[in-house]
Each structure stands twice: as structure tokens, then as C-alpha cells.
């Protein structure tokens, strides 16, 4: 099981007792004695569940709950209190607490609640769903924007490199919207030729063109009431852009070969990895269409700019792959982590996922080693002179530390924190590797 749980509780005995009970149930448990301490933990580690007391010191449980809901999507919260008041319970559930526990009630009821909540969480994981949890501020901001925008009917444009998770975000927006019980329909505009794309989107009447042997509904109609996701929007031919603009404005379509107007109700999400603004400037993308689709624009950071998430994501993929392949994995060697953290992941999360799946396939005796790690980075495969392993490792370490320092504007405390080493150790490494502030 092993879901990470954080207990936030200022009554030490109760906290430690609860920790012990949950550990016996197989969970991995951390305790914080104040909300402030809990926030520090939450910024460093991903938790599936937070159990927080309602009455804490300066910051109370409700405020902590709100902060978690705003900044740690995917982390569930159970509020605990000594005094049951209906108002507090209602308030907690309204803000998004998963449950409410009254201290003094049988502890089994709390454990049952925890099991139910985490089971729902785990079953999502086993169904190959994404990990919308992060330790990175920019990615968290993107999640927050997506959830906010999801609650409104606006058109949303997702921008991000290939494999960064644009489709994952489109699904998240759909799931968080009022349309979540209606269809989510995705169309990749790049994969289809102009005429096929047109009939795919609008549908066609029987005999509309050679080969149209039957009447067919298009994706707009299929998405009725739900969400239409157009991926690789930069590849949409100008002629179709005009037609889509009209659909967005009139909220109706005509099947090819027909002039009957069919009303359609959809939320439009588009995605691209190309600079649409430049394409507009060069006349390769229609300006009016661009302004229609990007009411809200969300940039999804590439994986190399959220290195804190590499490890939890990799562990998530290993868990899914090892479950699917019935190959338990209990150890991933430090060497593997070193390589992964130094790698630049041009293929983003997709590439990390593929790498981890491959490593599970080749793992022996429940251990993942670097032996089967073929990374496409220059430094790791090509252009590497013969050298002792130690020099190679040092070069990697230097490169990684330099990039982290740059990312943190050379803030040594912050960087040491991410690296989980002391300031002094980091300063020694900076000296040893001759890393200069740029």
C-alpha cells in the first residue's frame, strides 16, 4: 500500500499514537506539529492524504485545508476535531475536505475512511491515470489555472512541448468541468489530411463525396454537451480555421453535403507546441481565429524545468508498469536517479514514462539498475571520451548542480534543500567543481 500520509496535530501523544496505528496498516506516515511545519513538508514531498486537526496554533485546520486545495492538487484532506459541530463539518466538506473525524469516535471509523479515500486514489493510479501532483510552482500554477478555467465555459489554449502533458491537461479540464459526465472527444489535426479532417470534424451526408457510402456524424456532434479537444492546432489548414471560427460564433455546424444547420454545444480546448503568435505574424495562422481560441492560455512547463517532479513521476510510472507486468520492483539504484536528474528529456513526460517502462521490463530481482538506461543525451551516449566512471559521474553531478543553481538564481539554501544536502556540503561542491555564478 504505502501511500504517504501527513498528520498535522499539536497534541503530540495523539499524533504519535495515530502514526503508529497507520504504520501498522502499511502507510508511510510523517507528523507535523503545526500548520506552518506541514506547509514546509508539503513543499518538499508529495502526500496522498493529510490528516489535520481543526484547532492548531496560529494557522487553523480550515486555513490549512484551503491552502492545500489551492496548492497541492491531488492531496486529500481529512479534518479531525475534538468538538463536533455541524457547521464546521459542513464548512470543511464545502471547502473540499474528503472527510471529517471526531476525536473520541472509534479509530476504526477513521481508518475505514482513510482506506476508502486512498483506495479510490489507488484505483485511479492502476487505471493508468496521470499524476496531477507536483512539487513545482509553475506546474502547480498551470494546474490551478486549468481548474479555474474548467469551471467557466471559456476556450482554452494549451501550450507546451511534445509529451509535456497537454492532453493530460485537456482531460483534467474536462473532468473538473460541469461537462465531465458528457463526452470528451480528441482530434489530432496533424495526423489527418485536409479533406479527411473536414469530414472528421463536421461529418458528412451519404454521397457527399466518393467513398461517403453512409451518413456519418462528425466530432463536433460527437462532443455535444462535452469537450472537443483539438491537438496540434498549428497544423489546421487556413480554410478549416475559417470554418471553425464560424462554428465557434454560431454554435452550429452543417454536415458535408448538407445545408441543414445542426446546433452543437461544446467547450473547445486546443493545444500546440508551436509559437502561434509568430505564425500569425507570418500569415500562417489566422489572427481572428487565434484570438478566439486563446481566451485562456495555459503554458505547461517542460520536464527539464521541473526536475523536482522527475523522481515522483518515475516512481509513479514504475508502480503502474510493475503492477501491469506483475514484476515487483523495490529498489531503483542511486545511479539511475543521477542519470535521470541530469538528463534533459526532450520528449518530456512521455519519454520518462517510456524509459521507466523499459527499465521495469529489464529489471532483475526487483531492482532497477542503470544497465538498461539508454538516454539520448549527448553527454550520456555520444561524444563521451573514454574516462574513469568517477570523472563521468562528477561531470554529471556538476552539470546537474549548476542547472539547479541557475534555476534557483544561485540561492544556495534553496538548492541545498532540493538536493537534500546541507548548505556546507553544497558550498564544498561549488568550490570543488569551480561553479561560477552566471
Cell of 240: 478549416
For ligand ATP, which stretch binds (CB under 6 A), given 163-171, 194-202, 222-230, 338-346? 163-171
Residue 68 binds to ligand ATP (criterion: CB under 6 A): no
DSSP H or E stretch at residue 361: helix 348-362
C-alpha grid cell, residue 247: 462554428
Min CB(323)–ligand ATP separation in Å = 15
61 lines the binding site for ligand ATP (CB under 6 A)? no
Segment (H or E) for 37? helix 35-44
Stretch that binds ligand ATP, among 30-38, 208-216, 274-282, 345-353 (CB under 6 A): 345-353
Q: Nearest distance from residue 348's CB to ligand ATP, in Å?
A: 7
* Rounded Cα–Cα distance for residues 312 and 318 (Å): 10
Q: Which of 72, 166, 174, 292 binds ligand ATP (CB under 6 A)?
A: 166
Q: Which residue is nearest to ligand ATP (CB)?
A: 165
Provide CB contacts within 8 A for 326, sequence distance 6+: none
Residue from 50, 349, 355, 426 touching ligand ATP (CB under 6 A): that is 349
| Sole binder of ligand ATP in the list 49, 61, 68, 165 (CB under 6 A) | 165
d(CA 105, CA 92): 18
Enumerate the β-bridge partners of residue 217.
Answer: 203
Positions in 244-303 near ligand ATP (CB under 6 A): 273
131 binds ligand ATP (CB under 6 A): yes
| Contact between 85 and 42 (Cβ < 8 Å) | no
Residue 432 CB, nearest approach to ligand ATP (Å): 35
Q: Which stretch binds ligand ATP (CB under 6 A): 15-23, 81-89, 156-164, 375-383?
A: 156-164
Smallest gap from Cβ 4 to ligand ATP, in A, equals 17
Residues in binding contact with ligand ATP, number by CB under 6 A: 16
What single string gives the DSSP state of each residue in 157-221?
EEE--TTSSHHHHHHHHHHHSTTTTS-EEEEESSSS-HHHHHHHHHEE-TTSSTT--S-EE-HHH
Output the smallest distance, CB 352 to ligand ATP, in A. 8
Contacting residue, 9, 48, 167, 176, with ligand ATP by CB under 6 A: 167
The grid cell for 94 is: 464545502
Binding ligand ATP (rule: CB under 6 A), the pick from 39, 132, 240, 404 is 132
236 is an interface residue for ligand ATP by CB under 6 A: no
162 binds ligand ATP per the rule CB under 6 A? yes
Complex with ligand ATP: residue 79 or 230, whichever CB lies closer: 230
Residues 182/226, Cβ–Cβ less than 8 Å: yes
Q: Which is nearer to ligand ATP, 203 or 302 (CB)?
A: 302
| Rounded to 5°, angle at Cα 254 from 250 and 258 | 150
- Taking CB under 6 A as the criterion, the residue among 149, 168, 240, 296 binding ligand ATP is 168
Question: Whose Cβ is closer to ligand ATP: residue 221's or residue 351's?
Answer: 351
Nearer to ligand ATP, 203 or 301 (CB): 301
The 10 Å CB-count burial string (b at 16+, else e) for 101-131 is bebeeeeeebbebbeebbeebbeebeeeebb
Of 149-157, 158-166, 338-346, 371-379, the segment contacting ligand ATP by CB under 6 A is: 158-166
Residue 164 vs 416, nearer CB to ligand ATP: 164
Which residues, 369 to 428, sit near ligand ATP by CB under 6 A?
none
Nearest in space to 177 (alpha carbons), one of 111, 223, 238, 129: 223
* Minimum separation from the CB atom of position 233 to ligand ATP (A): 11
- List, in order, residues 6 or more apart from 156 with CB less than 8 Å away: 146, 149, 173, 267, 268, 269, 270, 295, 296, 297, 298
Residue-by-residue DSSP string for 43-79:
HHS--SEEEEESS-SSS-HHHHHHHHHHH-TT-EEEE
Compute the least distance from the CB of residue 81 to ligand ATP, in Å.
34
Enumerate long-range contacts of 199-203, CB under 8 Å, 24 or more apart.
199/256, 201/240, 201/244, 202/243, 202/253, 202/254, 202/255, 202/256, 203/253, 203/255, 203/256
DSSP conformation letters of 231-268? ESGGGS-HHHHHHHHHHHHHSEE--BT----EE---EE
Question: Could you tell me the smallest distance in angstroms from the CB atom of residue 268 to ligand ATP?
Answer: 16
164 binds ligand ATP (CB under 6 A): yes
User: Is residue 307 near ligand ATP by the rule CB under 6 A?
Assistant: no
Rounded to the nearest whole angstrom, what is the least distance from the CB of residue 166 to ligand ATP in the complex?
Answer: 3
Is residue 130 involved in binding ligand ATP (CB under 6 A)?
Answer: yes
Q: Which residues would be at the binding site for ligand ATP (CB under 6 A)?
A: 130-132, 160, 162-168, 231, 273, 349-350, 353
Amino acid at each position: 500500500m504505502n501511500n504517504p500520509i501527513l498528520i498535522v496535530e499539536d497534541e503530540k501523544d495523539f499524533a504519535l499514537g495515530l502514526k503508529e496505528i497507520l504504520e501498522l496498516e502499511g502507510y508511510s506516515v510523517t507528523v507535523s506539529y503545526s500548520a506552518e511545519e506541514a506547509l514546509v513538508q508539503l513543499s518538499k514531498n508529495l502526500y496522498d492524504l493529510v490528516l489535520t486537526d481543526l484547532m492548531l496554533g496560529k494557522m487553523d485546520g480550515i486555513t490549512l485545508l484551503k491552502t492545500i486545495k489551492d496548492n497541492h492538487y491531488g492531496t486529500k484532506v481529512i479534518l479531525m476535531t475534538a468538538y463536533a459541530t455541524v457547521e464546521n463539518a459542513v464548512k470543511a466538506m464545502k471547502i473540499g475536505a474528503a472527510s471529517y473525524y471526531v476525536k473520541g469516535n472509534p479509530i476504526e471509523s477513521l481508518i475505514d475512511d482513510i482506506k476508502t479515500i486512498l483506495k479510490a486514489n489507488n484505483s485511479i493510479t492502476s487505471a493508468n491515470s496521470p499524476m496531477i501532483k507536483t512539487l513545482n510552482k509553475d506546474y502547480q500554477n498551470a494546474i490551478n489555472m486549468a481548474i479555474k478555467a474548467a469551471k467557466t465555459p471559456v476556450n482554452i489554449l494549451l501550450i507546451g512541448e511534445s509529451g509535456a502533458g497537454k492532453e493530460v491537461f485537456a482531460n483534467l479540464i474536462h473532468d473538473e468541468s460541469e461537462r465531465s459526465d458528457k463526452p470528451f472527444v480528441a482530434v489530432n489535426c496533424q495526423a489527418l489530411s485536409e479533406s479527411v479532417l473536414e469530414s472528421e470534424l463536421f461529418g458528412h451526408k451519404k454521397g457527399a463525396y466518393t467513398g461517403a457510402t453512409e451518413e456519418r456524424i462528425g466530432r463536433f456532434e460527437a462532443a455535444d454537451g462535452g469537450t472537443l479537444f483539438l491537438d496540434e492546432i498549428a497544423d489546421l489548414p487556413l480554410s478549416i480555421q475559417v470554418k471553425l471560427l464560424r462554428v465557434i460564433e454560431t454554435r452550429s455546424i452543417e454536415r458535408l453535403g448538407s445545408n441543414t444547420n445542426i446546433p452543437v454545444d461544446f467547450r473547445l480546448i486546443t493545444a500546440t507546441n508551436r509559437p502561434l503568435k509568430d505564425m500569425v505574424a507570418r500569415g500562417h495562422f489566422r489572427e481572428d481565429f487565434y484570438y478566439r481560441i486563446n481566451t485562456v492560455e495555459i503554458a505547461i512547463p517542460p520536464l527539464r524545468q521541473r526536475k523536482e517532479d522527475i523522481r515522483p513521476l518515475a516512481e509513479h510510472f514504475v508502480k503502474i508498469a510493475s503492477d501491469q507486468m506483475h514484476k515487483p520492483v523495490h529498489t531503483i539504484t542511486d545511479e539511475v536517479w543521477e542519470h535521470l536528474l541530469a538528463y534533459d528529456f526532450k520528449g518530456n513526460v512521455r519519454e520518462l514514462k517510456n524509459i521507466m517502462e523499459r527499465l521495469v521490463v529489464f529489471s532483475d530481482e526487483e531492482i532497477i539498475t542503470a544497465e538498461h538506461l539508454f538516454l539520448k543525451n549527448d553527454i550520456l551516449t555520444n561524444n563521451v571520451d573514454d574516462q574513469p566512471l568517477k570523472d563521468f559521474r562528477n561531470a554529471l553531478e556538476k552539470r546537474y548542480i549548476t542547472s539547479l543553481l541557475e534555476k534557483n538564481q544561485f540561492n544556495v539554501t534553496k538548492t541545498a534543500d532540493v538536493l537534500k544536502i546541507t548548505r556546507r556540503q553544497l558550498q564544498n561542491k561549488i568550490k570543488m567543481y569551480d561553479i561560477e555564478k552566471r
